[in-house]
Structure 1
Amino acid sequence: MSQSLSILLIAPHPFFAERGTPIAVREAAMLLSEAGHKVTILTFHLGEDPEIPGVAVKRIPRIPGIKKVGIGFSPAKLIADGFLFLKLGWMLMREKYDAVHAVEESVFLAWIWREFIPYRLVYDMDSCMSDQIVEKWPQASSLGSFLRGSEQFVMRRVDHILPVCPALAETCRELASQTPRSVLHDVPPPKSGHQPADLVNLRQLVGSDGPIALYVGNFEGYQGVDLLLAAMERVDPVSPLRLVLIGGGESTGSIRRRIETTSLKGRVLLPGPQPLDHLPFLLEQADILASPRSRGVNTPMKVYAYLQSGRAMVATRILSHTQVMSEEHACLADPTPAGLAEGLETLANDPALRDRLGQSAKALSETRFSRNALGEQIFKAYETEPGIDC
């Protein structure tokens, strides 16, 4: 891309926050800025300063009563999106932007304004919104066809789509086959040069010399933490395997009570959320990394960090995982307590297998999911004549 563009990137969520989509948005902004483009991020009133050199961050006004916007659709998010729509129009009328990079539902807001103000519109697609809404609110299932039709309508009118995984790319092909698309895989956060002084020592935490399994992420239902705990309940109680859960969420209290009142006590540890820059150092301390996601098609961002770490992974055998890796890179287990327990015990009892899977996973990360590969995909959206990348 030889031409420098003025790009407005819309992030319809608290930004910055240490979770999947905001991390991906920050990385996209950094890549575009490093390529010589002028990038401005428009986002909610909530979040930390992302501290991206050369990138301006504009926010909607503070909204009385809305001090938190969680993951997924909610009344608070819809209200914030309304303010985002107004702020977007105000910015577009005051300054000329060559392109708008719209994340998630902000593509609808950007499409409306493009009816009046011309610019290139890129859709950064992190999920199938119609499916997400029906899954969260089953009572809205009667609106499924309308929601899918609305999604198809706007997908056919953008200039380029950046689906986050192959499964969503297939959805794009079905709904908007003529719209150019490029799969925009996530990448793991970069590793800082020095180990943090306050890094949690997993070996000291578990207090034993046995293998350590580690889960990192939020505790939302779709992540499968309950499934992972049920699997640990099936693992032989005399096994030296210990599980550490790093993360949090509204269900933290119930998870902690479950651990304290069952056979999991002393076998599952819950040290709480940890800073994002600690992640690579935490993964290096584990023997087994767990991704127990139970539903959905998006590949969890944690998986890319897991692959890069060179540690063995146990993951559920669902599309979220199988679209980016195979049995050569991870121990894929049936998404049941028995299946996941078998995977955990297999890896716990076979150090040679752990080493082989870890090395294979790291090689996959370096060849397919590097930062350079991500840059190549995102730049396709801003080429003069982008082609379809299936």
Structure 2
Amino acid sequence: MKILLMAPQSFYMDRGTPIAVDNLLKVMSERGDQVDVVAYHEGQDVHYPGVTIHRTPNVSFITNIPAGFSWKKIICDFLMIFTVLKLVTRNKYELVHAVEESVFIAMITKMFFRLPYIYDMDSSLAQQMVEQMPALKIVSFIFEFFEKIAVKQARAVAPVCDALAADVERYSPNKKVVILNDVSNLKDVKVSDEGGLRKQLRIDGVMLMYVGNLQTYQGIDLLLESFALAMEKTDNAHLVIIGGANDDIEKYLVKAYHLGILPKVRFLGPRPLSDLADYLAETDIVVSPRTKGQNTPMKVYSYLHSGKPMLATAMRTHTQVVDNTNSMLTEPTVEKYAEGMVKLIEDEQLRVQIGTAGKNLIEANFSYPVFQGKLNQLFDWLKKDKTTYKQQVSYSSK
């Protein structure tokens, strides 16, 4: 198929949604599809057969575009409209694959060019807006209204998790839905390693590790406060935090200092995705303290695939993928999260048991071949769907 894929991110870079988009492109390329990608001006080019990347105009004062809602993304999304319109007037696409908020641009192309689209739903835009700016809660029904229209107008919806699939069901009960869960980013899964990171950081004892951005919804405050409480009961542990913008790192360094745990906490900043397997191989416990959101953090799949036990909050963001047989789940409170930490720190046999179960879960249900099979199933359905076919013919005959 000839596909227009809209990715409103700095593509490519080693973080959440761009990694998911990269997996999409791998599958599309392997299928033999011809794909034009529209992404922001920032990011690294990737090279796959049949894939061409088009970028929005370079605005010199817009750099380091963050994940989540921001004024920088608003400007880049506006510029994306013109890049998309230029492409659809010059090419005969059969399908638009719209990631996140680009679905509203896809609604424009459907209206004027009769192009069917898939809504690739990595998060609830309505919920995301309110979580980042709580003052908007009073008008959240407006965001939900537009999200509902985007779902209803889509030929199919590809939510990233069960919670979002439930939202789709609520918006449009008969909509075609294929859940495209994220997958592990580990290619080389190592069992154990006493390598460079421990020596570099001079860490003895149990190592806990967090990987990801340091935005508030990730629960870093909960993590640090819980670690401080846990260290009152055992001092045989260190916490390593990988990722985060400089401003966030500085903020949490200050917090760690005031909590009295700075000697036991290491902030390493962003590291290449290619090093993730090595880092996870060296740790003993992985942590996901997220306190907000519905979608499962992408890091969870790599965490579990590493064979290391995961300590996570017992919220739907986690429980739609894991349970207490393959993870240590606790209430999102400092006391309970600290209690879970201490249990894992002090019980090596429990760590092995939970870690092995988590790895088995990923290999059975959340591997790249499973993701590939689901996406192929969706595209095969679209090719056979009569409505899509009629729309294709109508557009091609113009």
Q: Relative to total residues, which structure has the larger helix share, 1 or 2? A: 2
The structure-2 alpha-carbon separation of the partners of 1:77 and 1:200, relative to structure 1 and needing over 3 Å to count, comes to: farther
My pick for the range that moved more, 146-155 or 90-99, is 146-155
Query: Which amino acid in structure 2 is aligned with residue 258 of structure 1?
Result: K
Aligned residue pairs total 378
Which whole-Å deviations, capped at 9, do the CAs of 1:313-336 have from their partners, x for residues lacking one? 111111110000100100101111
State the partner residue of 2:12: 16
Aligned with 2:250 (options 253, 258, 282): 253
Shift of 1:191: 2.4
Task: Say whether residues 1:166 and 2:162 are aligned partners.
Answer: yes
Which whole-Å deviations, capped at 9, do the CAs of 1:334-369 have from their partners, x for residues lacking one? 111111111111011111111111110011001100
My pick for the range that moved more, 255-264 or 215-224, is 255-264
State the partner residue of 1:355: 352
Distance 2:135 2:337 in 1: 32
Shift of 1:291: 0.6
Query: Which amino acid in structure 2 is aligned with residue 114 of structure 1?
Result: K
State the partner residue of 1:333: 330
Task: Say whether residues 1:221 and 2:191 are aligned partners.
Answer: no
1:74-153 → structure 2 map (5 Å cutoff): 74-153=70-149
Distance 1:134 1:260 in 2: 31
Shift of 1:63: 1.9
Distance 1:363 1:325 in 2: 12
**8 Å contact kept, 1:188–1:304:** yes
State the partner residue of 1:299: 296
Q: Secondary structure at the match of 1:56?
A: strand
Shift of 1:192: 5.8
Task: Say whether residues 1:374 and 2:375 are aligned partners.
Answer: no
Distance 1:113 1:54 in 2: 22
The structure-2 alpha-carbon separation of the partners of 1:208 and 1:71, relative to structure 1 and needing over 3 Å to count, comes to: closer
Query: Which amino acid in structure 1 is aligned with residue 341 of structure 2?
Result: L
Distance 1:206 1:59 in 2: 40
Q: Secondary structure at the match of 2:268?
A: coil
Shift of 1:88: 0.4
Name structure 2 gaps, 5 residues minimum: 386-398
TM-score using structure 1 length: 0.93
Which whole-Å deviations, capped at 9, do the CAs of 1:284-338 have from their partners, x for residues lacking one? 1111000111111110000000111111111111111000010010010111111
Distance 2:218 2:25 in 1: 27
Distance 2:302 2:364 in 1: 14
- Of all paired residues, the percent bearing the same amino acid is 35
Query: Which amino acid in structure 2 is aligned with residue 380 of structure 1?
Result: Q
**8 Å contact kept, 2:33–2:50:** no
Distance 1:385 1:341 in 2: 52
The structure-2 alpha-carbon separation of the partners of 1:338 and 1:153, relative to structure 1 and needing over 3 Å to count, comes to: same
Query: Which amino acid in structure 2 is aligned with residue 365 of structure 1?
Result: I
The structure-2 alpha-carbon separation of the partners of 1:193 and 1:222, relative to structure 1 and needing over 3 Å to count, comes to: closer
**8 Å contact kept, 1:206–1:242:** no
Task: Say whether residues 1:189 and 2:185 are aligned partners.
Answer: yes
My pick for the range that moved more, 334-343 or 375-384, is 375-384
**8 Å contact kept, 2:159–2:165:** yes
My pick for the range that moved more, 52-61 or 344-353, is 52-61
My pick for the range that moved more, 233-242 or 35-44, is 233-242
Query: Which amino acid in structure 2 is aligned with residue 152 of structure 1?
Result: K
Q: Secondary structure at the match of 1:85?
A: helix
State the partner residue of 1:232: 227
Distance 1:344 1:217 in 2: 19
Distance 2:255 2:46 in 1: 36
Distance 1:135 1:193 in 2: 35
Aligned with 1:40 (options 29, 36, 39): 36
Task: Say whether residues 1:287 and 2:284 are aligned partners.
Answer: yes
Shift of 1:193: 9.8
C-alpha RMSD over aligned residues:
1.8
Which whole-Å deviations, capped at 9, do the CAs of 1:115-156 have from their partners, x for residues lacking one? 121333111001111111122222322321121111111211
Shift of 1:242: 1.0
My pick for the range that moved more, 96-105 or 111-120, is 111-120
Q: Secondary structure at the match of 2:117?
A: strand
Distance 2:63 2:268 in 1: 26
**8 Å contact kept, 1:161–1:381:** no
Task: Say whether residues 1:311 and 2:300 are aligned partners.
Answer: no
Query: Which amino acid in structure 2 is aligned with residue 225 of structure 1?
Result: I
Aligned with 1:6 (options 2, 11, 17): 2
Query: Which amino acid in structure 1 is aligned with residue 290 of structure 2?
Result: R
Aligned with 1:49 (options 45, 48, 57): 45
Shift of 1:74: 1.6
Shift of 1:259: 2.5
**8 Å contact kept, 1:122–1:381:** no
